[in-house]
A and B are shown apart, each in its own frame.
Chain A
Amino acid sequence: MNTLQSKEMYEKLFLIREAEQAIARVYPEGEIRCPTHLSIGQEAVPAAMGLATTSQDLAVSTHRCHAHYLGKGGSLRGMFAELYGKVTGCTRGRGGSMHLMDESVGFMGSTAIVANSIPVGVGLALSMQLKKQKNVSLIFFGDGATEEGAFYEAANFAALRKLPALFLCENNLYSVYSSLKPRQPEGRKIVEVAKAIGLHTEIANGNDAEECFRVISEAKQRAINGEGAQFIEFFTYRWLEHCGPFIDQHLKYRADDEFAKWKAMDPVASFREKMLKNGTLTESQMMGIEKNVLDSIADAITFSKESPYPEASEAFGPIYKERNHSAGASK
C-alpha cells in the first residue's frame, strides 16, 4: 500500500467507526426508528474492499450493511437520512438501515434475510460474464449465512461457471446470540466447505486492514483473470449487540475474556498505530483526516434531521415500474 492508499484506508476505517459510533450515540433519542445493526469492530474488511475495488465492481450486502455501503463509498448523507426515514435517504425512507443502496458507487443493495443476497451477487457475476465486463461481484455475508441452502446453491453455480464473484465471509463467531457451537460441527472450517464446493479459498485476519486489502486485491485479480469464483473467510468480531446501539456483555452469551481479546485487536486503532510507527502517515495527517470525517458525520446528521419525511402518500406506491416506451402493438 502506498501513502495515498494508506490515507484512504484510514479515512474509510475511521469513517465507518465514527459513523457507527454516532448512530449508537443518537439512537436513544428515538429519531432513528428502525432496527439497526452496527459494525463496530468489523471495519477492516469493508474499508479494504472499498480500496481494492472500483465503482464498476458491484456489491451486495446484508442486514449489517452500513460498513459495506460506506466502504464502497456510498453517500454518507444518504445513509443517515435513510436511518432517520427521511425523503433524502438513499431509498427515500422505503428500506431503512437494512436496505441501503447507492448504485453510483456500485453498491447494488443490501437485503435482510440471511444469505438471500448471495444468489443475487452471483447473478451480478453472471451478468458480468455474459457482458464480458472485466469486473467482480462482491458478496458480503456472515458465518450464519453459510448454514443456509442459498449459500450452497449460489456457490455451486459460481464455481460451475467460474464466475467473477468474491464471496466475502465475515465470520464474527455469532449468529445473533448463538455461537458456532450449536450451529456447525466442531472443528469443521467454513473455508473447507467452500473449498469442497469448488471455490478458490483464502483465510485472512479480518481485523488487519492491510492483510484484507492484499487478499481482496489478489482475489479480484484471479477472478478477473478467469480463474473462477473466490471465497475469503475473514475472522472478526462485533463489539456491540446484534441489533441496537449498546454493548450487551451483561447477557453473558459471550465470555468477557473473548470480548477483551478481540477488542485489543481493534482494526482502526491498530492501523493508526502501525501507520504512525512505520512513518507512512504523521499524527497531524491523521488528525486532519479525523477532523474531516467527524465534520462530514456532523453534517450528515444535521442534514438528516432537517430533511422532511416523504409525503405519507408515497407509502402507497408505485409498486411497479412503468415501461419507458410502449413497444409492440396491442392485440
Chain B
Amino acid sequence: MKEMTFVQAVNEALHLSMERDQNVICYGLGVTDPKEIFGTTDGLLKKYGSERVFDMPTSENGMTGVAIGAALNGIRSVMVHQRLDFFLLAMDQVVNNAAKWFYMFGGQRSVPITIRLIIGHGWGQGPTHCQNLQSWFAHVPGLKVVMPTTPADAKGMLLASIADENPVIFLEHRWLHQQKGMVPEGYYETPIEKAKVVTSGTDVTIVSLSYMTVEAIHAIEFLKHQGISCELIDLRSVQPIDWETIFTSVKKTGRLVALDTAQETLSVASEIVARVSQDLFSFLKSGPVRIGQPDVPSPTSFGLSKGYYRRSEAIALAIGRMMKGHDLEISALTESRKFPHDVPGDWFKGPF
C-alpha cells in the first residue's frame, strides 16, 4: 500500500492499462498539454508515444464516435473531458451508438470504451461547468456509470472500466482530486457492480456517492457524539446499482438517507428512495429522505453559492429530525470547516 492522491491513482491506473494492453489509447482535449488534465495524464505521452496518447480536435461528438469505431476493431479508448458539461455535445454517439451496439446488433459486438468526465464544484464554476448529470447516463440501458470516491477505488475502478467489455462513464469529482488515501500497488480491479460499506452503524443507512461521501463522513462523526449510529454505503457505481448491499443495510437500520451531488429531482438518490420504499416498505421505521442539490442551476457568485451546496450540516439536520424529531444544534459542524464554502481545501486556488 502507498499513500497517494486521487489524481495520482488515476494516473497510475492509466499507466498500468497502457503498459498491459497495446490496444489501449488515451486522448482528449488537453491530454498532452502542460496541465495534463489536472496531472492525471502525466507521463503518458513520453512513455507510450503520440500514436497512443494525443490531444484532439475540439469535437466531442465526432471523437466519441471515433472511439466507438476504433473499438469495433479492437482498440480500447480512454477519453477524457475536463468538464462533463462539454461532453453533452456527444450524447448522440454515447446514447445512440455506444450504449446500443451490443444489444442492437444481437450481442455480436460490444463497445469497450471508457469516458472520464470531471465534475466541477464550487469556485464559481456556475451553471455550465459543474453539472452532475450522472442520472442522464445511468438512465440509458447499456452504459455503466461509476463514481469512485477514494484513491484506491479510483485506481481499481478505472482499471476495471478500461478492461470492461462495455462503455463505461467514469465520473471524477473535482473536489476529490487531492484527497489522499492508501492505494494497493500494482494491477488490480475493483468490481464495478459492488457498493462499499464505509462505516457500519445501526440507526440509519446513508447511501452516498462520490464527493457526498466525504460530507457524510463529517456528518457521521458529528452524529456519533449525539448518540446516533450511521451506516455509510458508498455506491461507487450508479449503473448498475448494488441493491443487495443497500437492502441488507436498510433491513437492519430501518431508516434511509440517500445523498447525491446532483439536483435532487429525478436523481440517483431519488431512485434509491423509490426502490427502497417499494421493496422494503415494511422494514422502514420512518420516511426515507434524499439530499441532493437544489433544483436550480448552480449559481456562480461567492455570495449566491453560499447556501446552495448541501453539505454535512444538511445531512446531520435530516438525520437528527429522523431520529429525535427536532433540529440538532449543528453550528459546531460549520465551525469545524477551516476554509470558505466554495473550495474543497487549502490546496485549491482556482482557476477551475
Contacts and interface: CB of A to CB of B under 8 A. Distances in A.
Interface of A: 58, 60, 89-95, 99, 101, 103, 108-109, 111, 113, 116-128, 130-131, 137, 149-150, 152-154, 156-157, 160, 317-323, 327-331
A81 to B, nearest CB: 11
B105 A95 contact: yes
B75 A130 contact: yes
Most chain-B CB neighbours within 10 Å: which of A119, A128, A156? A119
Contacts of A116: 65, 92-93, 96-97
Most chain-B CB neighbours within 10 Å: which of A93, A118, A126, A320? A320
Contacts of B57: 153, 156-157, 160
A331 B96 contact: no
Given A91-B108, A328-B159, A321 B102 contact: yes
Contacts of B56: 157
A321 B110 contact: yes
Contact of A92 (B51, B106, B160, B190): B106
Contact of A153 (B59, B68, B152, B164): B59
A320 B144 contact: yes
A150 B65 contact: yes
B63 A119 contact: yes
Given A128-B73, A331-B184, A122 B65 contact: yes
Nearest to B113: A123
A101 to B, nearest CB: 5
A93 B63 CA distance: 29
B189 A123 contact: no
B72 A123 contact: yes
Given A113-B92, A149-B61, A318 B107 contact: yes
5 contacts: A119-B65, A120-B65, A150-B92, A330-B188, A331-B156
B187 A328 contact: yes
A126 B75 contact: yes
Contact of B107 (A125, A127, A321, A329): A321
A91 B66 contact: no
Contacts of A130: 25, 51-52, 70, 75
Most chain-A CB neighbours within 10 Å: which of B62, B96, B159? B62
Contact of B103 (A126, A152, A319): A319
Contacts, number: 174
Most chain-B CB neighbours within 10 Å: which of A122, A127, A322? A127
B101 A122 contact: no
A123 B70 CA distance: 4
B90 to A, nearest CB: 10
A100 to B, nearest CB: 9
Given A130-B75, A323-B163, 11 more contacts: A92-B106, A116-B93, A117-B97, A120-B66, A150-B65, A153-B57, A156-B57, A319-B102, A320-B110, A321-B166, A330-B191
A94 B62 contact: no
A101 B107 CA distance: 11
Given A119-B61, A122-B65, A127-B70, A322 B165 contact: yes
A124 B65 contact: no
Given A154-B65, A157-B57, A323 B165 contact: yes
B73 A120 contact: no
A122 B69 contact: yes
Contacts of B258: none
Interface string B179-198: 00000100111110000000
Contacts of A89: 106
B149 interface: no
Contacts of B69: 60, 119-127, 137
Contacts of A319: 102-103, 141-142
Contact of B97 (A111, A127, A153): A111
B114 interface: no
B74 interface: yes
B64 interface: yes
Contacts of B144: 320
A300 B106 CA distance: 20
Contacts of B63: 119, 153, 157
B71 interface: yes
B61 A99 contact: no
B109 interface: yes
Contacts of A318: 102-103, 107
A258 B258 CA distance: 64
A122 B142 CA distance: 23
A118 B107 CA distance: 22
A111 B107 contact: no
Closest 9 CB pairs of A and B: A123-B69, A119-B65, A153-B62, A153-B59, A127-B73, A92-B106, A321-B110, A91-B106, A120-B69
A122 B187 contact: no
Nearest to A100: B105
B58 to A, nearest CB: 9
B280 interface: no
B104 interface: yes
B336 to A, nearest CB: 32
Contact of B188 (A92, A108, A331): A331
